[in-house]
Structure 1
Amino acid sequence: MRNINKSAELTEETIALNEHGIDYSVYGAEHIEEGARKQMDVAMKLPVSVAGALMPDAHQGYGLPIGGVLATRNAIIPYGVGVDIGCRMALSIFDIPGDNYFGNDAKYKRELIAHTKFGAGQSFKGSERAEHAVLDREEFGSIRFLKGLFDKAYGQLGTSGGGNHFAEWGIIEFAERDEVLNIDKGRYVALLTHSGSRGFGATVADYYTKLAKSLCKLPKETENLAYLDLNSEAGIEYWIAMNLAGDYASACHEVIHKRLTKAIGAEVLAKVENHHNFAWKETLNGEELIVHRKGATPAGKGVLGIIPGSMTAPGFLVRGKGEVNSIYSASHGAGRQMSRKKAHANISREEMKAVLKAHDVMLIGAGLDEAPMAYKDINKVMAAQTELVDVLARFEPKMVRMADDGSRED
């Protein structure tokens, strides 16, 4: 497939939005800022929009709000997927009783530092580099643009971004036995990670977002919702690149979990993974549509997912109920209640240390913009989506590693 010329298929005429937007479901409306609602209102006026929903952790983003779910007809919006394509959660539950963590935290800290690398631009060199089947994918050779990103992808495989990306040890508690996961009631040591497709995915997102804006002329104030027709060469290329970036993000988590599992000498009882910056082909009301989940967790009937809180708040292992009005989705976390800038201006390092101490959490890295106070109350967010998911287990963070250089996620 040839590399696309950005001027090809250029549409000079501005595409008009529909006068009235399609109605959409909102969960936890009292927790959602006006800016996110306005962004969703505009998205529902796109001529390709069919259905939408807003999750209780929603807040303003670029184009589609974070926490926004949008179903479109044969069109994909790069900013509806997000900059960090395929960003996801991954949870490994070990055959180690929860109480084993206490008294052994020095070992867990040593291995966490030794086997993770955080921050924008971070990569492995030489023999440190990981190998994975995703690097053998033919897409790296069939699309010239992706071929140029191979070395970056190779070096960053198994690393994590900045911002809200993390790797943490914690204790997960099952109040009763789960037959599907084959895990008995009890408390277990677990590893939870959050990261995406690194510089590779960020570069893909930037390239195709600019391309979409050049091909899809929307009114100035809505240009970040520019979309690509999936029948066009540009749309097909982005779809291929997005799926590769999603698989690459999954591979990054796999490398991290395998390394840390080996380091602590554990067996994995169960592993759960879900992504929340992606687009899927799904059937809704009998029609195949493109479902964008930008900061939203898939919650189809029986689908497992992880919804984290903050570095001191609990996270939850959930099973989707398949609610059609939410477009089979749930929140992807607690959601921000302070912008990064506001958090830096209003939270002191001493306040952050006090909260960590009160919750007995050890923090390695992270800036004030990731302080627990910058996030909504995860318990209120979960209460707003009881019709979307069932909670299977509660994860309590004990040791959290994040980027310490103030870099944003890729």
Structure 2
Amino acid sequence: MNGDDLKAIGYAEGKVIRMVLDIIENNYASQEKEEVLNLFKQVVLHPEQFLDHAVLKHIAQTLIEDTQGAETDRIPLKETGINYAVFGADYIEAGAVKQMEIAMKLPVAVAGALMPDAHQGYGLPIGGVLATKNAIIPYGVGVDIGCRMALSIYDIPAEYFLANEAMYKRELIAWTSFGAGNGWNGKDRAAHAVLDDAAFNMTPFIKNLQDKAAHQLGSSGGGNHFVEFGIIEFKTDDVKLNIKKGTYVALLTHSGSRGFGATVAGNYTRLAKEICKLPNEAANLAYLDMNRAEGQEYWLAMNLAGDYASACHEIIHERLTKAIGGQILAKVENHHNFAWKEMLNGEEVIVHRKGATPAAEGVMGIIPGSMTAPGFLVRGKGEAAAIHSASHGAGRQMSRTQAIKNISKEEMRKILKDHGVTLIGAGLDEAPMAYKNIERVMAAQKQLVDVVATFTPKLVRMAADGSRED
């Protein structure tokens, strides 16, 4: 390994290369060269993700400081952060609270809230809601731009599904594609008007992502993304949805903007950090001014990624609806990892909901639990303290690494069997025990949403290798 190898993956000439070579010699000498280069490529591309790494944190900090320049060049944070509402504080980890407190010290921050499924992420915590004045934060939106839930409720009684589960499993496997890089080819490739959106032509960077978007259209990502059939129960008639009391077969999907959105997020996060030089602890909250071309460009790209994510769900639901032969009684869709222009206290603000969903009065949403826990069809109550938001799920209580170390395959098989759930794919990192208790999460947001119906998963498909999009 030498300096030329490191320069080839993005390192600049200087002290950081010497640091990297020393660390490789002392800690990674026994590993394959390609494996080591891949690791250090991730460090140079995403140094903020390695600030807590036992071995690599000094390199990460040096890279960030080199990008941001001297301390005197940095934009200072407010000495005192803005107060914000916290829902379900008893089971939100300290790291998420600390991240939210830093976000509330941003000079562009106007208001914030923390949802009961919150846990630590990069920049804004997962479950964080942040309103800003005339600024947008790429990492406040998140990597999987426009990730969403989509629900189709069919005129099929629960008993029919239970008697024909093998057919549903066959069609679920046939019409879904999962995991980083995966998509559809040949005659199975989907068509949709979103691919003809003029926004794809706004810059060469976005245009170059169009082929990737076309390949992955109608597919799902890795990690916690899923497509599942289940039973939804309405305990009373719902006049607004025109659905009678009873149990029905339903299809629920969770995925986002795939590799297209992830690449957009990475590009504009780097751009924001070059323009907006914040202190180290706030580096991942770098923002773009909406009055400048970069801010407007990201706004258009973010909205295109959101439309693309919606199109992916539309295609999955259309294909599976045709395959099972049901009639749709109602459809509900809501998204997170996005930013909206909204009015707050008489002024327009940019509301970032990273792992949080809109819950304005009357707005429908879906809040899933885990593969063995119920999900909830909800209607927003428009709580001002929450900035008209609610949780996007149960939220993790174990990191992926912790789950793999602490949960056995036998434990996972048992809990699936006990709940009558058939699982296709997924690793131990997505085991139900890795997630918070959804009942507690829902109890903590009673003032945010009303429960309309309860969804029970029965047949779940996820990425087989637990892969995540890049």
Q: TM-score, normalised by structure 1?
A: 0.97
Identify the match of residue 391 of structure 1 among 440, 446, 451. Answer: 451
CA drift at 1:100: 1.0
Amino acid at match of 2:271: L
Q: CA deviation at 1:77?
A: 0.3
Find out whether 1:109 has 2:169 as its counterpart: yes
C-alpha separation between the residues in 2 aligned to 1:368 and 1:95?
Answer: 34
Matches within 5 A, 1:143-162: 143-162=203-222
Contact 1:164 1:409 in 2 (8 A): no
Q: Distance in 1 between matches of 2:324 and 2:124?
A: 41
CA offsets per residue over residues 179-213 of structure 1, 9 Å max, x none?
Answer: 11100000000000000000000000000000000
Matches within 5 A, 1:84-233: 84-233=144-293
In structure 2, the residue matched to 1:7 is: none
Aligned to 2:58: none
CA deviation after TM superposition for structure 1 residue 123, in Å: 1.4
In the TM superposition, residue 11 of structure 1 has moved relative to its aligned partner by 8.5
Q: Which has the higher contact order (CA 8 A, sep 6+)?
A: 1
Instruction: Give how far 1:125 is off.
Output: 1.0
2:303 to 240, 243, 267: 243
Q: Is contact 2:221–2:468 with CA below 8 Å preserved after alignment?
A: yes
SS at match of 1:102: helix
2:437 — aligned with what? 377
Aligned counterparts of 2:417 and 2:469: Cα–Cα separation in 1 = 26
Count residues in correspondence: 401
Return the letter of the residue paired with 2:359: A
For residues 214-260 of structure 1, give each alpha carbon's deviation from its aligned partner in whole angstroms, at most 9, with x where no partner exists: 00000112100000000111000000000000000000000000000
Q: Distance in 2 between matches of 1:359 and 1:286?
A: 48
8 Å CA contact retained: 2:181, 2:469: no
Report the TM-score, using the length of structure 2 for normalisation.
Answer: 0.85
CA distance in structure 1 between the partners assigned to 2:364 and 2:275 by the alignment:
37
Kept after mapping to 1: 8 A contact 2:68/2:278: no
| 1:298 corresponding residue in structure 2 | 358
Tell me which moved more, 121-130 or 250-259: 121-130
Residue 37 of structure 1 is aligned with which of 97, 103, 120?
A: 97
Of the three residues 307, 331, 337, the one matched with 1:277 is 337
Distance in 2 between residues matched to 1:227 and 1:241, nearest whole Å: 15
CA distance in 1 between partners of 2:445 and 2:466 (Å): 32
Q: CA deviation at 1:142?
A: 2.4
Match of 1:5 in 2: none
| Alpha carbons 2:102, 2:281 under 8 Å: kept | no
Q: Which amino acid aligns with 1:366?
A: A
Q: SS of 2:284's equivalent?
A: helix
What do residues 130-154 of structure 1 show as CA deviations (whole Å, max 9, x unaligned)? 0001011001112221100000000
337-346 or 97-106: which moved more?
Answer: 97-106
- Once the two structures are TM-superposed, the CA of residue 409 in structure 1 deviates from its matched residue by 4.3
Aligned 8 A contact 2:141 2:338 in 1: yes
- Aligned counterpart in structure 1 of residue 328 of structure 2, from 268, 274, 281: 268
* AA partner of residue 124 (structure 2): L
Higher-Rg structure is 2
Q: CA deviation at 1:359?
A: 0.2
The letter of the residue matching 2:248 is Y
Contact 1:352 1:368 (8 Å CA) reproduced: yes
2:120 aligned to which of 50, 60, 67: 60
The equivalent residue for 2:427 is 367
Q: What residue number does 1:286 align with?
A: 346
- 2:369 is equivalent to residue 309 of structure 1: yes
- The AA in structure 2 aligned to 1:113 is I
Deviation readout 1:35-80 (Å, 9 max, x if unpaired): 0000000000000000000000000000000000000000000000
Alignment RMSD, CA only?
0.9
